[in-house]
A and B are shown apart, each in its own frame.
Chain A
């Protein structure tokens, strides 16, 4: 594994964060963006700040345009999804007839089930290239699987894979393809019923900095990283989305690869009829993938 990237000097942050006295914990450094854990509307509310720094090697005008597009694409899709099931028909932001989304009669928990399963957008500045979203507790699915308790019943892993398939199905039904489905772009958020004892204890532990990763794989799958997402209902795009996940899963989790079918099964169940078409299409996409890799 790569070394964690060094802490960036704060002056690289865009305003107003460059003059902030709050703490910024660098969580991830990708090719295009830096992800910090900080606060936002209140000191008690953790938030994820995604910054897309200037690429000095790109033409400034082009760079600005690309940054703007990326930030907006991600925010628009997140906001659209957070309106799932509550946006009134004929609203300003186009959302299709909720009834139509269930056309396959899939077993997906109904329209709006996805709403809480993506981070809420709190603020953005497309000129300056940053986006602040709600902080999602827990670990990435990737880390969750790496740290899983190998002595536990395999049903636990299958349960997780099923939840992944279901959430991807919900996403597709909502008219969005993710574009970069990997196990690092999904969080495993501990399920908490607010107000319960367990919830209070977990919060107290967190405040003491004892965020615990257990061997368990329980929790909600929360999809993150919508930088490459697009609005699409095409079978081909959906199938490619699944293919990307299948390939990424296989290379990241070779030991678990054999169980990936569980994802596809749950996807099919949550999508209903249109899911069958996508799964058939996936076979074509795999075939093309194989041919391509044979040709080099």
Chain B
């Protein structure tokens, strides 16, 4: 697990785990659907992620919108999922970027909380292999064609990052 402190948001540390080859995505999804309060995480489908910076930019936007009292969804965790989307359709963003029954690789983000407890809980709940949060890993795990379709781009390398992050930042304008 990695704990990331975004430069301007020191009070909102991000605890992030990237899991590869997850076996129990349906269970995780079920916890979210039931509103199980032990599972207050942003569970993202990692196959649709481009880069580490993209994830951090989504977290920044969600926390800033929380601080500005203008969340579009239930809480900061669902807002992180929504923040990844280039458009304003909330339920579509959950379908695209959130954990699905068929998700194989999952990124879990928790805003705030005690690192050791979160790590223990995630490792105990997600059946998968923890891998480092690097662009190389994202490149390995992603589904190129889905990524292209969702962001309407023709390339999925480094060269797409600026456009993807920019589109996320402009959403709702």
Contacts and interface: CB of A to CB of B under 8 A. Distances in A.
Interface string B132-173: 000000000000000010001111000111110111011001
A79 B167 contact: yes
A88 B53 contact: no
B6 interface: yes
Contacts of B154: 86-88
Contacts of B163: 79, 82-83, 86-87
Interface residues of B, number: 34
Interface stretch (A118-126, A195-203, A229-237, A252-260): A118-126
B67 interface: yes
B170 A87 contact: no
A28 to B, nearest CB: 20
A82 B166 contact: yes
B35 interface: no
A38 interface: yes
Interface in B51-99: 53, 56-57, 60-61, 63-64, 67-68, 70, 86-87
Contact of B7 (A42, A75, A86, A90): A42
B167 A16 contact: no
A6 interface: no
Contacts of B165: 120-122
A75 B64 contact: no
B67 A16 contact: yes
Contact of A92 (B9, B87, B148, B173): B87
Contacts of B169: 75, 79, 121-124
A20 B8 CA distance: 5
B155 to A, nearest CB: 4
B10 interface: yes
Given A41-B57, A86-B160, A88-B148, A79 B7 contact: no
B162 A121 contact: yes
Among A17, A91, A115: residue with most chain B CB under 10 A: A91
Interface residues of A, number: 39
Interface in A11-41: 15-17, 20-22, 38-41
B153 A88 contact: yes
B166 A121 contact: yes
Given A22-B7, A88-B148, A123-B60, A41 B167 contact: no
A43 B169 CA distance: 20
Contact of A41 (B10, B56, B63, B155): B56
A22 B8 contact: yes
B93 to A, nearest CB: 14
A192 interface: no
B144 to A, nearest CB: 13
A220 to B, nearest CB: 15
Nearest to B63: A16
A79 B166 contact: yes
Contact of A21 (B10, B67, B162): B10
Contacts of B6: 41
Given A40-B7, A41-B6, A93-B167, A120 B162 contact: yes
A10 B173 CA distance: 27
Contact of B152 (A78, A87, A124): A87
Nearest to B87: A92
Interface in B1-38: 4, 6-10
A122 B169 CA distance: 7
A296 B73 CA distance: 58
B124 to A, nearest CB: 29
Contacts of A83: 153, 163, 166-167
A-B pairs with lowest CB-CB distance, top 9: A79-B166, A120-B162, A91-B152, A82-B162, A83-B163, A121-B166, A20-B8, A39-B7, A86-B155
Interface of B: 4, 6-10, 53, 56-57, 60-61, 63-64, 67-68, 70, 86-87, 148, 152-155, 159-163, 165-167, 169-170, 173
20 contacts: A16-B67, A17-B8, A21-B10, A38-B8, A41-B6, A41-B7, A42-B7, A42-B56, A79-B162, A79-B163, A79-B166, A79-B167, A82-B163, A83-B163, A86-B155, A92-B87, A122-B169, A123-B60, A125-B64, A134-B162
